Chains A and B, each alone.
Chain A
């Protein structure tokens, strides 16, 4: 199953993320973010970080999760490639991300992402298939 696709947006990048469950959707959102940022196949799972959040809705949790991954990349130079959702409901998330420190000899940066926005943010479920729409500010 396709993890995500990019949607056209004049100035920024839209992501349509898929998953066969809510945890899979969130894991694929992490993947989509880092696949947008870098060549994710060149990232190895050498170190692990744990993330925990509480928010008012699943949509807000998604922005929080992707935003926290982006913040960790920017402040700690960590690129992630594996995402494990430990538990999730519509108000709280507990997850792990695995990756390694950015190394300019190995990794390339494809796009600079300023932020994960709330613009047209949407999570939908139809017959057990989940889909989310997120716009990244570039």
Chain B
């Protein structure tokens, strides 16, 4: 299927349709503007959208957000929902980094309050938060029993053990704990990988970023969130580390067998899956929940160290710093959610792989203090440009099972980035733009350089214009630590 060119039919300025053909059970919808289409067509991502459309029990179209790029199995930026009786759940629809996600803190600081301390803050964060490949903590080695509690209770475990406060929990998707997690379904290998890695950033595109609010698009919502121009924010992007990768790997092996058992025709092995309500499907969701909870705890712990670092470097206290969590979102996850399908309420299994939940005002699953405004959505860009804060909408509920984009999306492969960076000092280029970067791996900086990504402003403009999120504020980076 992937060898034939796929024709896209333009619906409007932000939406494109792939007609149903061959084994596809539904059509595909791509959210993108005209300028993005040539680069989207360059890799395999569109055929991945059509492959997902072939899976049994898909409800609604196979969708992709404007940050779409080639993944493995599902495209990155993919959203697909499946019927609970006829449909499937697929580990490839979530990815290896289960509950990779982002959290955003606001502070009582203005840009000028930290300008003299920025380098010390970045160095302090780099020292206090283990990062880089295979990063491990020496002072937080969990026993198997403790890890089991993390897998069951997520961010609440971290709070109970002194990392952050109960108020943080209220501002995390699903309160930092996905129900029905069953640690007995997590392998010994996953435990071995997970035990030394809780509270570590990892490498690749994971980061901690100090930024300031450089533009506000929706004054009323920003005020309700306590945000104003020039204010310092801090964000964290990381996930479930080796534990999540192992849960995915173990699950794929089981799902390859399950797909055969249930006679599911796979256009790509990586799409292996099982009926949602089968034992294999339920076991995957219970193991995935464990990895997701680990990721919530991981971001909670890292958040605590960020607060400590700011307090130490700026010689301040929690009361004056007011580093409060705005929100924490997942962008690699599968969830059983209630949506309106053809006019009727229906529970479906929504896969978001490189896509973010975007629930509207008054939704039962968002915090009480956000009920009026809707769920905050955090969209990190590349380290040289911007990040965005958006808010969920009713239209996202109608069109995308309450989902929107998750980031800038890669434009260049890692090899292309290396070629493009030849003869350039990326570190210096960022410094010239007023951004201090500390990276664990010297190769990471080149592969993750701003030019390797799409412009996040363009991505965000498409989802805002399509109405599947609303723009609230834009942040500009000042200091970044990379793995």
The answer on a CB contact under 8 Å between B270 and A117 is yes
The answer on a CB contact under 8 Å between B73 and A75 is no
* Nearest CB of B to A63, in Å: 9
Could you give, for residues 246-266 of chain B, a 1 whenever the CB lies within 8 Å of some chain A CB and a 0 otherwise?
Answer: 101100110011000000000
The answer on a CB contact under 8 Å between A11 and B416 is no
Is A111 interfacial (CB-CB < 8 Å)? yes
Could you give, for residues 106-138 of chain A, a 1 whenever the CB lies within 8 Å of some chain B CB and a 0 otherwise?
Answer: 001111101101111100000000000001011
A6→B133 CA distance, assembly (Å): 21
The answer on a CB contact under 8 Å between B96 and A114 is yes
- Given A9-B413, A13-B414, A114-B245: A119 in contact with B441 (beta carbons within 8 A): no
Is B193 interfacial (CB-CB < 8 Å)? yes
Which residues 4-39 in A have Cβ within 8 Å of B in the complex?
A: 6, 8-13
For residue A121, which residues in chain B have a CB less than 8 angstroms away from its CB? 269-270
The answer on a CB contact under 8 Å between A12 and B72 is yes
- Given A74-B193, A75-B192, A112-B204: A117 in contact with B72 (beta carbons within 8 A): yes
A118→B71 CA distance, assembly (Å): 12
Is A51 interfacial (CB-CB < 8 Å)? no
A11→B74 CA distance, assembly (Å): 13
Is B129 interfacial (CB-CB < 8 Å)? no
For residue B249, which residues in chain A have a CB less than 8 angstroms away from its CB? 67, 115
* Nearest CB of B to A51, in Å: 14
A102→B189 CA distance, assembly (Å): 20
The answer on a CB contact under 8 Å between B269 and A118 is yes
The answer on a CB contact under 8 Å between B269 and A112 is no
A111→B132 CA distance, assembly (Å): 10
For residue A11, which residues in chain B have a CB less than 8 angstroms away from its CB? 69-71, 76, 410, 413
* Nearest CB of B to A78, in Å: 11
A25→B61 CA distance, assembly (Å): 40
A5→B249 CA distance, assembly (Å): 24
Is B415 interfacial (CB-CB < 8 Å)? yes
Q: How many of chain B's residues have a CB under 8 angstroms from any CB in A?
A: 47
A19→B106 CA distance, assembly (Å): 55
For residue B380, which residues in chain A have a CB less than 8 angstroms away from its CB? none
Residue of B nearest to A102 (CB): B134
Is B57 interfacial (CB-CB < 8 Å)? no
- Given A8-B415, A11-B69, A60-B256: A112 in contact with B76 (beta carbons within 8 A): no
For residue A59, which residues in chain B have a CB less than 8 angstroms away from its CB? 269
* Nearest CB of B to A121, in Å: 6
For residue B257, which residues in chain A have a CB less than 8 angstroms away from its CB? 56
A11→B413 CA distance, assembly (Å): 6
* Residue from the list A60, A77, A111, A115 in contact with B443, Cβ < 8 A: A111
- Given A11-B410, A119-B73: A112 in contact with B203 (beta carbons within 8 A): yes
For residue B66, which residues in chain A have a CB less than 8 angstroms away from its CB? none
- How many Cβ-Cβ contacts under 8 Å join chain A to chain B? 103
Residue of B nearest to A75 (CB): B192
The answer on a CB contact under 8 Å between A137 and B96 is yes
The answer on a CB contact under 8 Å between B415 and A6 is yes
Is B43 interfacial (CB-CB < 8 Å)? yes
* Residue from the list B95, B133, B246, B413 in contact with A8, Cβ < 8 A: B413
A11→B43 CA distance, assembly (Å): 10
* Residue from the list B203, B269, B413, B441 in contact with A10, Cβ < 8 A: B413
For residue A77, which residues in chain B have a CB less than 8 angstroms away from its CB? 134
For residue B220, which residues in chain A have a CB less than 8 angstroms away from its CB? none
Could you give, for residues 267-285 of chain B, a 1 whenever the CB lies within 8 Å of some chain A CB and a 0 otherwise?
Answer: 0111010000000000000
* Nearest CB of A to B137, in Å: 15
Could you give, for residues 64-93 of chain B, a 1 whenever the CB lies within 8 Å of some chain A CB and a 0 otherwise?
Answer: 000001111100100000000000000010
The answer on a CB contact under 8 Å between A119 and B269 is yes
For residue A13, which residues in chain B have a CB less than 8 angstroms away from its CB? 414
Which residues 371-416 in B have Cβ within 8 Å of A in the complex?
A: 410-416
Among all A-B residue pairs, the 5 with the closest Cβ atoms? A119-B72, A112-B203, A118-B269, A112-B133, A119-B270
Query: A11-B410, A112-B132 given. 18 additional CB < 8 A pairs?
Result: A10-B69, A10-B70, A10-B410, A12-B71, A12-B72, A56-B256, A71-B193, A108-B442, A111-B443, A112-B441, A112-B444, A115-B245, A117-B96, A118-B72, A118-B269, A120-B72, A120-B270, A137-B96
**A residues adjacent to B (C-beta < 8 A):** 6, 8-13, 56, 59-60, 67, 71, 73-75, 77, 102, 108-112, 114-115, 117-121, 135, 137-138
**B residues adjacent to A (C-beta < 8 A):** 43, 45, 69-73, 76, 92, 95-97, 132-134, 189, 192-193, 202-204, 242, 245-246, 248-249, 252-253, 256-257, 268-270, 272, 410-416, 441-444, 447, 483
22 sample A-B contacts, Cβ–Cβ < 8 Å, listed by A number: A6-B415, A8-B415, A10-B45, A11-B76, A56-B257, A60-B256, A71-B246, A73-B134, A74-B134, A102-B134, A108-B442, A109-B132, A109-B133, A109-B441, A112-B134, A112-B204, A112-B441, A114-B245, A117-B72, A119-B72, A119-B73, A121-B269
